[in-house]
Amino acid sequence: MITDILDLGEKTSLSGQVVVVGSGIAGSEVAIHLSRNGREVILLESGRGPFDPSIQALNNVNFTGKPHRKLDPDADYHRFLPPELRGTSRLRQFGGTSNIWTGKWKYLEPSQFGGRDWIPNSDWPIDFDDLLPYYNSAAKDYGFGDLQAESMRPEIKEFRSKLAEHGLRLSSFYWEEKPTRTAIRFGEEMRHSENLHVVLGASATELRLDDSRQRVKAVVCRSLEGKEITVEGDEIILAMGALETARLLLSSDRQIPGGIGNAHDLVGRFYTDHLKHHTGKLWPGQLSQKYAREMQFKQKPRFCVCFSIDEATQREQKLLEHALYLKPLYEKSMEIVPGRPTAQDNYGLVVAYRVNLAFEHVPHKESRLTLGTERDTLGQRKLDVNWCFTEQDRESLPKIVEILTRRVEESGLGTIEFGSELPNIENMTDAAHQMGTTRMASRPEDGVVNTNCCVFGTDNLYVAGSAIFPTGPSYSPTFTILALARRLGQHLLQKTPTKVVQLSK
C-alpha cells in the first residue's frame, strides 16, 4: 500500500523486515524484489506524488568547490524538461530522479572493473561477471533488447572495426522510448501490495543504533508538517542517492561521533561525477556519411553508439575514461554550409552533429561532502560539497580532447569544432551522476561498504545506488545501479526468512 506520513494519524512507529529509504530506481528495485519474494518491506520516501518545491529544497547544498549546474529555464541542455526543472541534478519526489532522467542504459565495460593501474583508487572489489547475471535479468525485465547481440550486428561490427583501425572504440547503449519512471512502473503494484508499505512525505533524519552500536534499530523520519515516526527493521537499505545517503550517515552522529560507517573518515569522500561539455559540433566526414544510420538518435527505443579512445592508448597515455556522443542536427534546424559534406540517415539530411563529450575524473579523498553549519527546514545540517579535481585530471583532459579530435578526423568520422574554447574543467558542467561517497571496498580502511553493499562496522545497514561506485567510468551509471540493487536484493533474500505466505503478485 501507499500512504502519506500524515495518514498515519496518532501512530508514531512502524516496523517491517526490511526498511528501504528512497524510492528512485535503486530503492524501488530492491523493495519490489524483496516484497515480491514474500518479505515485509517498508519504503520511506521524502517526496510525494506531485513535485513539491519545499520538499525539493531539502536537497539544497552549499558548494565549496566546483558547483553543479544551476537551475536555468533557458538552459541549452534538459530542453525536454519543464523550464523550472532545467538544470536539476536530482529529485526529491516519489520515484526520485527517474521522474526526469533520459533513459540511456549502458554496461560498465569488463576492463573498467579490474582497476586501471594508471588511475589511483580505480579498483572495484567485484568484477563484471559478478554483475552480468543482474545486468542480463534487468535487461530482460525492462525490455532493453540484447546489447551483446547488438554489438555483433554486421553493420556495427564493420563500423567498429573501421574505427579501431584509427584507435577509436565504439560502444553501444540502449535508449528507451519512454524512460523508466519508477513511480509509474511500480506504482500500481505498490498500491495493491500487502507486504510493501510505501510511506510518502517521510524524510529520514537519523539512524538509531541498538546497544551493540553495530545494528541500526530504527530510522527516524519527519515531515515538513512536523509529524515524526520511528521505523524499525531487521535490515535497512539507504537508497537516497550519493549525496543524501552520505549526509544521513554523517548526521547520525549522536551515538558514534563522526557518524555511522565513518570509523576511517571515508563517508562523503571520493565524490565524483562526470564532467560534461555540451557545445561542440562535428561536421560529417565520409565515415559518418556511410554509417549515418548507425549514428541516428531516432527512432527510440533503439540502440545508439558512442565513441572513445581505445584502451591501449588510454593505458599508454594514462588517460581517463570518456565518451563522445553525437546528436544529428538536421537540415530543418540548421542551414547547410556550402562546401561542407552532409550525411543522410532515415530521418533527413544531417548537416552536422552536436558533440556531447563526457569525462570521468580521478576518485580522490579531497573531493568530498561534509556537514556544514547551515540547516534545512527540518533542522538537518546541510552538506558542504567540495567537488574538486587532481593534477591528473588537468593533464588527461586536454590530451583526450587532442587525441580524440585528431583520430575522429583521421577516421573520417568528421571534423570537431569546439568554438572559442576547448573543453576544460572550468567550462564543463556536472552530468547529474553523483557517485562514490560510500565507495565499495574489500577492507574498511579503503571504503564504506563491503562487496555485499553492507556498511563496514554494521551488521544490517546497506547502501544501494551509485554512492557505492569506486569509480565512474561509464557515462550512464544507472544500469549498474540497477544491477547492483538486484544483486543486493538477492543477497537479502538469503539473509531474511519469508514471512508473508500469500504473495500480492
Ligand X SMILES: Cc1cc2nc3c(=O)[nH]c(=O)nc-3n(C[C@H](O)[C@H](O)[C@H](O)COP(=O)(O)OP(=O)(O)OC[C@H]3O[C@@H](n4cnc5c(N)ncnc54)[C@H](O)[C@@H]3O)c2cc1C
Q: Which three cell numbers stand for residue 311?
A: 584502451
Q: Which of 43, 239, 385, 468 binds ligand X (CB under 6 A)?
A: 239
Which residue, 319, 496, 333, is CA-closest to 407?
Answer: 319
Task: Return the range that interacts with ligand X (CB under 6 A); candidates 44-52, 262-270, 277-285, 311-319.
Answer: 44-52
Rounded Cα distance between 228 and 457, Å, is 27
Q: Which of 48, 66, 69, 78: binder of ligand X (CB under 6 A)?
A: 78
Question: From the CB of residue 208, how many other CB atoms can be counted at a distance below 10 Å?
Answer: 16
> Does residue 244 belong to the site contacting ligand X (CB under 6 A)?
yes
Give residues 247-286 in contact with ligand X (rule: CB under 6 A): 248
Stretch that binds ligand X, among 94-102, 303-311, 315-323, 331-339 (CB under 6 A): 94-102
Asked if 433 is part of the footprint of ligand X (rule: CB under 6 A), the reply reads yes
Please tell me the distance from the alpha carbon of residue 381 to that of residue 262, in angstroms, as a whole number.
17
Q: Does 100 sit near ligand X (CB under 6 A)?
A: yes
Residue with cell 510505501: 198
Choose, by CB under 6 A, the member of 436, 447, 477, 489 that binds ligand X.
477
Give residue number: closest CB to ligand X.
Answer: 24
- Based on the shown chain and the rule CB under 6 A, indicate whether residue 304 belongs to the binding site for ligand X: no
What is the C-alpha R_g of the chain? Answer: 23
What does the per-residue mask of binding to ligand X show for 198-237, with x meaning CB under 6 A? -----xx---------------------------------
473 binds ligand X (CB under 6 A): no
Nearest residue (CB) to ligand X, 109 versus 410: 109
Among 16, 22, 284, 489, binds ligand X (CB under 6 A): 22
- 8 A C-beta contact, residue 251 and residue 383: no
State in angstroms the smallest separation of the CB of 82 from ligand X.
Answer: 12
Comparing CB distances to ligand X, the nearer of 46 and 405 is 46
Side-chain half-sphere exposure of 352, counting CA atoms within 13 A: 20
DSSP H stretches of helix in 2-101: 25-36, 53-56
Query: DSSP readout, 121-180?
Result: T---SS-HHHHHHHHHHHHHHHT---HHHHHTSHHHHHHHHHHHTTTEEEEEEEE-SS--
Angle at the Cα of 500 (from 495 to 503), degrees rounded to 5?
115
Instruction: Choose the stretch contacting ligand X; rule: CB under 6 A; options: 241-249, 279-287, 358-366, 410-418.
Output: 241-249
Q: Which residues bind ligand X (CB under 6 A)?
A: 21-27, 44-47, 78, 88-90, 92-93, 96-98, 100-104, 203-204, 239-241, 244, 248, 432-433, 465-466, 476-478, 481
